[in-house]
Chains A and B, each alone.
Chain A
Amino acid sequence: MEILVCVKRVPDTAENEFELNSDGNDLDRDDLVYSVNEWDNYAVEEAIQIVDEAGGSVTVITVGDDEAEEVLRREMAMGANNGVLLSDDAFEGSDGKGIAAILKAEIEKGKYDLIFTGAQADEGAGQVGGMLAAMLDYPYASLVNKIEVDGTKIKVGREIEGGNQEMNEIELPCVLSIQTGINEPRYVGIRGIRKVAKVEIPVKGAGDLGLDAGAVGEAGAKTKRVDYFVPDMGEGAEMLEGSTEEIIEKLIEKLKAKGGL
């Protein structure tokens, strides 16, 4: 099984407090801590487990700048066999389609049976996987929480509403977006990362991929982020004030009125 996992370096939601910068149009990025997107990490763990059983190799790939290399190394420390960095100034400002186009150009040079992405990343769009599949004309399944490999056909379970699971059979090669909870990712310590610190990670730019600059990057983007902002709170809840006793008294009154007691 040759598996390619698309990963992304994102600001860590657990360890950051997000505030706007002084201009009020972007995040304050000074103190932000970045790591691999949580969904992507589950995807890499799943790929490693499949390859441990069925043989083959896992390649991790990302579209980003030099700093994005650190997430490739971390996933390789976890057990991915190869890493590829797609980096070029021309890629800056790409929208989802642009990213998918860049990835597609690299994927076509290889021969992968399975392509994984995380179900979503920091932007919460969950778009690249589906777009990539359509561009490659591969079948797609999103929010995958179970994979059973059996030769050239595989069964996947998708997480759908109500906690139910939709089982599908899907042909290879295919693209799957992986949901959290599919497995328990193994621990990667500093030592593991140091062990792969010297491993070669090839970097490819627009030229290597044969991409037309107009199709990617800001120039090719049809959807662009304009700014970050703090929304007007609106009415919201009636905040109860006072001592805890007073608050509880008022609350009990309201609960009685609404049939909560």
Chain B
Amino acid sequence: MTQIYAYIPFKDGVAADVALEFPAAAEKIEAGASVTAVVTGSGADLDAVAGEMAKIYKEVIKVDNAALAYPNAEVVRKALVSILPADAVVLVAHDTFGMDLAPGLSVKLDSSYAADVVDFEGKDGDVLKIVRQELGGAVSTHVSTDLSAGAVITVRPGAFAPAEGGDVGGSVTDKSGDAGDLTAKRTFLEVVEAEVGDVDITKSDVLVSIGRGIEDEDNIEVAQELADAMGAVVSCSRPIVDAKWLEKSRQVGTSGQTVKPKVYMAMGISGSFQHMGGVKGNPFIVAVNKNPKAPIFQVADVGIVEDILEFMPELQEAIEDL
């Protein structure tokens, strides 16, 4: 049986959603495989998370050290190398921390590496079959990785089903003493929060979200008028912010804001995972896009193949007539 470890990311004493997805991922690697959660940190926050994880994982390892109070990948890596067996299969979330931690970890553990996995298709001896994407999600690939000397694998948040509630009554083992030397050549200074813009998109129940399909900065007012008619707020995907057409505070996505609206109107948005990663809570997603093959249509509830520049004004008129 493969021994799988899952690194649990958390903030302010609460584990990230992806922490619930590792069991399903592990199950797809090998049915019945056991997963040990690993949590590093310091103090009450760490204990709270460890306790929560013990409800989902039979075994939880915690490492408590002041140097781990803020998740500094350079320090965490050293701790993990000290406490993990060399042939471990380690699951890490493919988030900004995972991208910092995982590649170096696979080198130090001398194991294979696979990143941003969206699915597993089981093992064939020591060879694990993986599904991932390339070219910004435009194509999918099958990849094989050799587990014989262990592996570090980053898993796309939201790709695997979260564990249901319940309590497996797991136990927490304290391995703080095995952490070893935790000095690093990189020191955490502070987190600079994103500037709050004039509008807080996280507070709105309905969002009219625009993507590249808006084509021109001048067309944004078309979306604003629809939003006004719906009592909604305008948000957007990353390219709109990169072009400086809207401020960063309007961006929905893994590198932007996380929103939990009731209704999400995705207008001219292709539906990349980085963008949809910012949409949580299972809202009613309406996708309008000129391209019938846009990935958004796989995740939306309702799909409409139209040019948003023509569709939005008509929808707005119809709503105003109500």
Main secondary structure of the interface of B (DSSP, over half): mixed
CB < 8 Å: which of A95, A122, A158, A248 contacts B315?
A: A248
Say yes or no for A22: interface residue by CB 8 A criterion.
no
Q: Which residue of A lies closest to B256 (CB)?
A: A163
Q: A146 to B255: give the CA distance in the assembly, Å.
A: 15
A167 and B190 contacting across the interface, CB-CB below 8 Å: yes
Compute how far the CA of A252 lies from the CA of B318 in the bound complex, rounded to whole angstroms.
8
In the complex, whether A139 has a CB less than 8 A from a CB of chain B is: yes
A185 within 8 A of B: no
Q: State A249–B315 Cα separation when bound (angstroms).
A: 9
Assess whether A226 is in contact with B113, with CB atoms less than 8 Å apart.
no
Partner-B contacts on A (CB < 8 A): 11, 13, 18, 20, 27, 95-97, 100, 119, 122-131, 133-135, 138-143, 155, 157-171, 174, 177, 180-181, 222-231, 233-234, 236-240, 244-245, 247-249, 251-252, 254-255, 258-261
The reply to whether the CB of B254 lies closer than 8 angstroms to some CB of chain A is: yes
Indicate which residue in A18, A160, A164, A238 contacts B302 across the interface (CB closer than 8 Å).
Answer: A238
The answer, yes or no, to whether B104 is at the interface (CB within 8 Å) is yes
A140 & B311 in contact (Cβ 8 Å cutoff): no
B1 at the interface (CB under 8 A from A): no
Measured as residues with beta carbon below 8 angstroms from the partner, the interface class of chain B is 35 or more
Q: Given A134-B108, A170-B186, A255-B263: A164 and B194 within 8 A (CB)?
A: yes
CA A66 – CA B55 in complex, angstroms? 55
The answer on a CB contact under 8 Å between A226 and B142 is yes
Q: Provided the pairs A13-B136, A233-B298, A251-B315 are in contact, do residues A168 and B188 lie with their beta carbons within 8 angstroms? A: yes
Q: Is the CB of A125 within 8 A of B116?
A: yes
Chain B residues with CB under 8 Å of A125's CB are: 113-116
CA distance A18 to B295 in the complex (A): 14
Contact A130:B103 (CB < 8 A) given known A157-B192, A165-B191: yes
- Shortest CB distance A17–B (Å): 9
Alpha-carbon gap, A247 to B255, bound state (A) = 33
Whether A168 lies near B187 (C-beta < 8 A) is yes
